[in-house]
Structure 1
Amino acid sequence: MDFFETRLEIIEAVAWLVTVTAGVAAGVLFARRSHDRLTGTLAAASAIVSEGLSHAEQEDAFASMSAGLARLFDADSVALALPTADGRLACVGSFGYSKPEEMFLRPGEGISGRAFVTGEPIVAPDVSKAEHYKPAGPGIKSALAVPMRYQGRVIGAFNVESRTRRYDESDLDVLVPIVDQIAAVVEGTRLRREAQERAAAELKARQELQAVSAVVLAGVASVHDLKASLHSMITEIADRLGWESMALILYGDDGLLYTRAYFGYPEYSTRIAFKPGEGVVGAVAQSGKGRLVPDVSLDPDYLDIVGATRSEMCVPLRAGERVLGVLNAESPRPDVFSREDFELLATLADQMSIVIERARLAALERTALEGMRELDKLKDDFVATVSHELRTPLTSINGYAQTMLVRADDLTEADRRSFLEATVRQCNRLSTIVESLLLVSQLESGEIRRRREFARLEDLVANAAEASGAEDRLVCHDESGVGLVTDPFRLHHILRNLFENAAKYSPAGSPVLVRVCPRADGACVEVHDGGSGIPKGAEEIVFDRFRRLGEPGTSGVPGTGLGLYIVRRFARDLGGDVTIARSTEPGYGGALFALHVRNLDLEPA
């Protein structure tokens, strides 16, 4: 019995051992098959991730990975969510959603938001019983949400949902490693993008610095050649910044806007003058406010001069409160200029304004210095001329006086009379010189007031001819009997100086023609002489104060260089002017001085 029992126990033990061994063997086989299946699934998932990385664009890569994982997990929808600047979670890669760009979650909202906040994966075998599930589509039965981790940080969340498959904890064995791979990809993409953005920002900053440096360097040279400096600035800036076309447009003396330097524009477009308020350029110049135009076809101010233009930005050039013009940039591509580009253009415009204003002030300084040198020379010439002009009559007067004193007993009555007449002539010459000097002094100080009186030109001409001492040489043609309201004092000195000038520069004894012509607003007095005329190019400078043609003190023609200056000043005081031309009158081949005098009765008092 004992043997039987022992034998029976042994048999039972063996049976138990066989059962355990079979169970272990079955478990090992199942584990091996599960491992093989897990390994195959992971390999397939890795292949999906690798395929997604083959896409150049991040959005395409995320979409490809989402679609592949949806097939692997029998999912109807997949979403990869990353945090935005405002703290929400945005869908950056998806499959199965109609409008993923409109999908946003607050942290903690839905199972994806919950997984993002807690850092723990969430399995919802039955979404109807899941506490935090937020429906995103109809018919979903089961879902998984896994936090995306990178080096211990949660950087996003990954979500899969299915209408047919019921997910369980075992699915996390595949999904969690795959999401970790995706997280590494996302972070790598972010770091690469930040590195590219930093490199682009550094390149742009370097280009901007080079552009500003080009303006500064060009400004150094602008003192000597502003036009070349402006062209150099525009070309250098456009090349450095990669802008297709640029133009610097400045106000002209006539109030219009002209292109002074340009790059990338057809030449015909640079010859167009803009009125203030005309086009984007004119509007910016008139208002003093810059414009950034993403699409010129939508801007009512845009003038279609260059047909290829699609976008434009334009800023004013200022010197204090004064607008000098504008700096303009255009592109054949729409919406190509950013707000940063616009601000850079304004900075460049400020620098260019300094260059332009500096060059303008330098030009004014050069002009002023040249004017001062010229004035000093004219004063020196004037002193030499006046000294000569005063010394000549004084010498004559002294000579006649000495002769009359020393040889009083030897002189006849006729001799004494001749000497006295010569002395009177020289005194009159001195008086004329002194009178001219005083007259100019009064002109400069504004002491001569304008009078309004009616006078006949015939009488004014006769009086001026007598005062000039040339009445015997004048041939007057005045049959009109013109009379007008004028300032007799000013008109007398105008005519007197014109007659004296014509008589001095005509051959001795030759006639001087004076013709009076009526005009609707007054009259014109022409004075024709028989001299050599005024050299070409000197028609205006002869009216300058102290100006005489030829070296001072060496000309055979007496004068101080003030007569024609007085003529023009008084003529313009009377609302008229005096011009010079070559006379075409037969017998008078010299200069023609034409005095245009207005009837002051036609002006308000």
Structure 2
Amino acid sequence: MRGIYWMRLKAWRLLAIGTVIAVYTLLLVVDARFIFSSPSLSLWISFGFSAFVALVFLAVGVLVWLYARDRWVASLLFGSFSVIMIPFAVRTADLFQAHLFGAISGVCSSLGLTLCALLLLRFPRNYFTRWSSARTLTLRLKQVAVWMYVIALVLLCGFALSFSLVHYLWPRGPIWLNVLDLIYAIVVLAGIVTTIVISYVCSESLRERQQIRLFVWGVALAFTPVLILSILPEALNLPGIRAGWSTLTIVCLPLSLGYSILRYQILVFDAYIRRAVAWIVGVVGLVMLGCVLIALCNKVFMGMLASFAFGLASLTAITAPVVWWLAKVVTERVFFSEVLHYRRLIAEPTLLSDEILDLDEISRLLTLAAIHTFETSHVCLFVLDESCGCYYVYPALKDDPGDEARRLLARVLIEKLRPQTCGEVDWLETQWPAVEHIASARRPSLLYELLREKIGASFGLRRYVVTTMPLGSEAMLLAPIRVQGKMIGLLVLGERDDLQQYAGPDFEAVQMLLGRFSPVLETARLYGRANQHAALLNSLYSVSTLPGSAFQSIEEIAAVYAAVASEATMSRAEMWLFDEAQGLLRLVISSGSGPHIADEAYLRPAQWYDWAPWFYAGESSQEGQSSIAYMPSCLSLVPHFPFAWLPLQRGEQRLGILVLTYWRPHCFMREEMRVLQMFASQCAASLENARITIELREACERQKELDRLKDQFIMTASHELRTPLTAIQGYIELLSEYNSTLSVEARGNFIAKAHRGCDELALLVGNIMDASRVRIDAENIKLIPVLLRESIMYVLEILEAICKREKRRISLSVSPELCVMADDMRLRQVLLNLVSNALKYSPPETDIEIAVIEDDTWVIVSVRDYGAGVPPSDQPRLFERFVRLDRDMNSPVRGAGLGLYICKQLVGAMGGQIWIESSGVGGEGSTFAFTLKRTPSNLQVSDQKRQESDLTI
């Protein structure tokens, strides 16, 4: 279908081609009729040569007409070759009917010569538009001269056509008509030669000079054999070749001109064409050498057949190899000198040497060499990174932010080649279809070729010829860099500065350039890969130098190892620790940039392969797709990004999982997998050692704490117990010594005071015993609904005597129906300790306030005194065992420092919290508060309205 579309689009070209082919066939038929009327071998040979030459002119004209980019050039050449074809097609008929076919030949020759002259004004330099915007007087004069020359050509052509017509109508006309015809030919040929010389001298590029050189030498090859083999021997009365035979080389004229026009649109065949030209030059040279040697030997060895044969054979054996070698040299230096130019540029001494192993430096040198060779400022180099399976731009664009041309070229190429399913990326993946096509291609490819292959628009000769449409950004040349058949890089040449397209000669120059740089580039790439592997080893194992005592927790060592792994691999490192009791993996740390392996904070490994190393290269990896069944089962979704799953195990003990995730494509090399597994083993050993170290440290700390508590208990107990014991001992000694002299009241007072000391001593010992069994009591607490007011009233009744003695007033604000979830006996013990402390640590005759704040869920009970308060610095340790303030150690107030500790344990067991609020300023006192959970009362109460009551004792 696309072929039909193309044919419809080019229908007018095909119509012109069909018309010319029909004329060619008709003329051959007419010409053949004269051969059948007088058949002879010489006529058949002459007819064959003429038909072949006419066919060559026709074929070259058709090829240029179809594929030449400059349509004016294509039209002029097609027209000139079409009319030049006619004299060769009617050559035999011209011998029999000179008037009619001679006139046709004359008209076509004159018209073809004029069209060739006009063609050279358009190609390779366009003299019609070159100075169309001229502003200086010199350029305007040149433009006027060009148009005057064109007008003269047209007028002369008209005269020549008139002369041919007159010659046909008046065969025996005056001789000056032939002279005028000859003068026209000489003038036009002189104009052609002048145009060629001016174009060559004024040419601005190597391509223009090469095109002119090809045309000139094609003309030389076409007419030199006729001159040497036919005209010159005839003038010197020497044996030669008939002009009909020697004019066969005239086919070099259309071939050279057509090739010079299409050379920079031909994608391939340039090397083959140069080889064929070398063969043609060699064959022509050998034929000319043979003719010269035959003539020379004929003169020297006249009549001596043996000597003639020996001399001819000897001279031929000596001179033929030299002529063949000279033919190759001449072909390369004369016809295709730009190849030598490229070789000189590429072989120029540079900084390139075998000692250069830096990949960025080699890439920069290759880029500069390409810019210098191909005269383009848009060059970028992609180099294969096997760890990622992608081609990245080198030198890195981030290292050279000012190179906007290279950045733009790389971005355009990536946008053109990436599949539609791929998002925004800054690399070329090896598995993209376009990249695979480049890797398998035998030659460099133009970008538009790849795009044309993708849409299936290549057929016939179009696959070998550059399109005639403007390419724009698709004109870039993609040259694969190969080492031992493997593509290790891609050199991208952007649009040339002269706006010409890349074609056959450029392909060979690219191959020469890459042939010189590719070994050094591969060496630098392998060296960089080895350095990267060594850096990975150094980074991963640098953490092994840290002492185990430097870590305070498992999470801390996990964070350190995750940070090291993330930095070394440029990925996200997640550390999942295993809770053996619950059978779960818990995410404890995530470091670096990359996707998360799972959205959940917990994973449940259930299969044996959850604890096996696993490396996944992403969705594009065929190996990963084939082993998808062994993906860790605890992952709910199959990740679309590369990741490494590294179990942390010590023997049969499972400690956790280290996961590395990558945003960019990543291929895990064998060395990298081995290093990562070794790092995971080291991490597991460090985690196990840290766990053991932390447990030992905690045990040591607990032992130190126990020793501290023991010392504090001994100090507190010895201090607090000594006071009542001293009092008891003193009163007993007084009774023992003065019992007979004491009065009944004094003896009773001594006994009462001794009894009070015994009670105080029993209270201290009781508190110590309560502290020893408070944890057991906390475990045996049974929570039931308890009326808070009744518990508070019970405690106040116990302390009523003390309040009356010290003239205390305790205010209470609580609802009679307020019910909390608590253990009644332990609740009363807590309230008794708090109110007793408020009485002990506040001056007599000061008030005590008991307040209750309630909401839908919780009840806050607070006890406030107006004593000296507690400094903020001492508040954090107030609820620990055996803690008393320094100011209270020598005060009359006795205590073991266990009351608040017991309260904290009991309140916590009942589901609440206890705390202190104090500014530490004397007279403002302290407030001890605790919370309990509220519950509806299950007791019978009256329906009367709730009211608050104030109790004063």
Aligned to 1:170: none
Determine if contact 2:869/2:923 at 8 Å carries over to the other structure. Answer: no
Determine if contact 2:541/2:679 at 8 Å carries over to the other structure. Answer: no
Written as runs of structure 1 = structure 2, the 5 A alignment for 1:512-523 is: 512-521=848-857, 523=859
Say whether residues 1:36 and 2:326 are aligned partners: yes
Partner AA of 2:729 in structure 1: N
- Distance apart, 1:544 and its partner CA: 1.4
Structure 2 Cα separation of the partners of residues 33 and 561 of structure 1: 120
Change (3 A) 1:56 1:515: closer
- One of 437, 457, 461 as aligned partner of 2:788: 457
Aligned to 1:437: 768
Task: Give the TM-score of the pair, scaled to structure 2.
Answer: 0.39
Determine if contact 1:464/1:496 at 8 Å carries over to the other structure. Answer: yes
- One of 858, 868, 873 as aligned partner of 1:532: 868
Change (3 A) 1:595 1:293: same
Structure 1 Cα separation of the partners of residues 677 and 599 of structure 2: 16
Structure 2 Cα separation of the partners of residues 416 and 432 of structure 1: 24
- One of 210, 213, 235 as aligned partner of 2:538: 210
Aligned to 2:900: 564
Pick which of 388-397 and 349-358 moved more.
Answer: 349-358
Say whether residues 1:489 and 2:856 are aligned partners: no
Name the SS for the 1:198 alignment partner. Answer: helix
Aligned to 2:443: 93
- Distance apart, 1:529 and its partner CA: 1.5
- One of 307, 324, 329 as aligned partner of 1:17: 307
Determine if contact 1:378/1:547 at 8 Å carries over to the other structure. Answer: no
Aligned to 2:735: 404
Determine if contact 1:214/1:233 at 8 Å carries over to the other structure. Answer: no
Q: How many residues align?
A: 461
- Distance apart, 1:342 and its partner CA: 8.3
- Distance apart, 1:398 and its partner CA: 2.7
Structure 2 Cα separation of the partners of residues 584 and 12 of structure 1: 143
Written as runs of structure 1 = structure 2, the 5 A alignment for 1:267-416 is: 280=596, 283=599, 286=602, 335=664, 337-340=666-669, 366=697, 369-416=700-747
Aligned to 1:121: none
Partner AA of 1:206 in structure 2: A
- Distance apart, 1:437 and its partner CA: 2.3
Change (3 A) 1:407 1:98: closer
- One of 738, 750, 757 as aligned partner of 1:419: 750
Name the SS for the 2:711 alignment partner. Answer: helix
Determine if contact 1:382/1:561 at 8 Å carries over to the other structure. Answer: no
Partner AA of 1:532 in structure 2: A
Structure 2 Cα separation of the partners of residues 542 and 584 of structure 1: 13
Say whether residues 1:597 and 2:899 are aligned partners: no
Say whether residues 1:503 and 2:839 are aligned partners: yes
Structure 1 Cα separation of the partners of residues 751 and 902 of structure 2: 31
- Distance apart, 1:352 and its partner CA: 6.4
Structure 1 Cα separation of the partners of residues 936 and 445 of structure 2: 93
Partner AA of 1:422 in structure 2: K
- Give CA-to-partner distance per residue, 1:53-75, whole Å, 9 cap, x none: 67949xx9xxx9xxxxxxxxxxx
Change (3 A) 1:315 1:590: farther
Structure 2 Cα separation of the partners of residues 569 and 186 of structure 1: 81
- Distance apart, 1:95 and its partner CA: 8.6
Name the SS for the 1:495 alignment partner. Answer: helix
- Distance apart, 1:466 and its partner CA: 5.0
Structure 2 Cα separation of the partners of residues 458 and 97 of structure 1: 91
- Distance apart, 1:338 and its partner CA: 4.5
Name the SS for the 1:560 alignment partner. Answer: coil
Aligned to 1:120: none
Structure 1 Cα separation of the partners of residues 718 and 697 of structure 2: 31
Pick which of 209-218 and 340-349 moved more.
Answer: 340-349
Change (3 A) 1:32 1:475: closer
Change (3 A) 1:47 1:454: closer
Structure 2: 5+ residue runs without aligned partners?
1-300, 348-364, 375-438, 462-483, 486-507, 578-584, 605-613, 621-639, 939-953
Aligned to 1:76: none
Aligned to 1:129: none
- Give CA-to-partner distance per residue, 1:320-351, whole Å, 9 cap, x none: 65669976776xxxx46543598577876776
Partner AA of 1:545 in structure 2: R
Determine if contact 1:525/1:594 at 8 Å carries over to the other structure. Answer: yes
Change (3 A) 1:21 1:513: closer
Partner AA of 2:828 in structure 1: H
- Distance apart, 1:444 and its partner CA: 3.1
Determine if contact 1:532/1:589 at 8 Å carries over to the other structure. Answer: yes
Higher share in strand: 1
Partner AA of 1:339 in structure 2: F
Determine if contact 2:572/2:595 at 8 Å carries over to the other structure. Answer: no
Structure 1 Cα separation of the partners of residues 565 and 712 of structure 2: 51
Structure 2 Cα separation of the partners of residues 319 and 577 of structure 1: 40
Query: Percent same amino acid among aligned pairs?
Result: 21
- Distance apart, 1:207 and its partner CA: 1.2
- Distance apart, 1:377 and its partner CA: 1.5
Aligned to 2:526: 198
Name the SS for the 1:539 alignment partner. Answer: helix
Change (3 A) 1:326 1:566: farther
Higher share in helix: 2
- Give CA-to-partner distance per residue, 1:495-521, whole Å, 9 cap, x none: 111122212211245443333455544
Structure 2 Cα separation of the partners of residues 422 and 185 of structure 1: 114
Change (3 A) 1:590 1:319: farther
Name the SS for the 2:930 alignment partner. Answer: strand
Say whether residues 1:546 and 2:882 are aligned partners: yes
Determine if contact 1:478/1:517 at 8 Å carries over to the other structure. Answer: no
Determine if contact 1:247/1:328 at 8 Å carries over to the other structure. Answer: yes
Structure 2 Cα separation of the partners of residues 488 and 581 of structure 1: 25
Name the SS for the 2:599 alignment partner. Answer: helix
Written as runs of structure 1 = structure 2, the 5 A alignment for 1:100-139 is: none
Name the SS for the 2:927 alignment partner. Answer: strand
Change (3 A) 1:450 1:18: closer
Name the SS for the 2:767 alignment partner. Answer: helix
Determine if contact 1:482/1:523 at 8 Å carries over to the other structure. Answer: no
- One of 581, 595, 602 as aligned partner of 2:917: 581
- Distance apart, 1:563 and its partner CA: 0.6
Structure 2 Cα separation of the partners of residues 588 and 290 of structure 1: 70
Of structures 1 and 2, the larger Rg is shown by 2
Structure 1 Cα separation of the partners of residues 888 and 616 of structure 2: 59
Determine if contact 1:292/1:342 at 8 Å carries over to the other structure. Answer: no
- Distance apart, 1:593 and its partner CA: 0.7
Name the SS for the 1:440 alignment partner. Answer: helix
Pick which of 448-457 and 536-545 moved more.
Answer: 448-457
- Distance apart, 1:533 and its partner CA: 1.3
Pick which of 448-457 and 196-205 moved more.
Answer: 448-457
Structure 1 Cα separation of the partners of residues 787 and 889 of structure 2: 38
Determine if contact 1:547/1:561 at 8 Å carries over to the other structure. Answer: yes
Determine if contact 1:313/1:342 at 8 Å carries over to the other structure. Answer: no
Change (3 A) 1:348 1:541: same
Structure 1: 5+ residue runs without aligned partners?
1-10, 65-88, 104-135, 140-154, 157-178, 266-277, 296-310
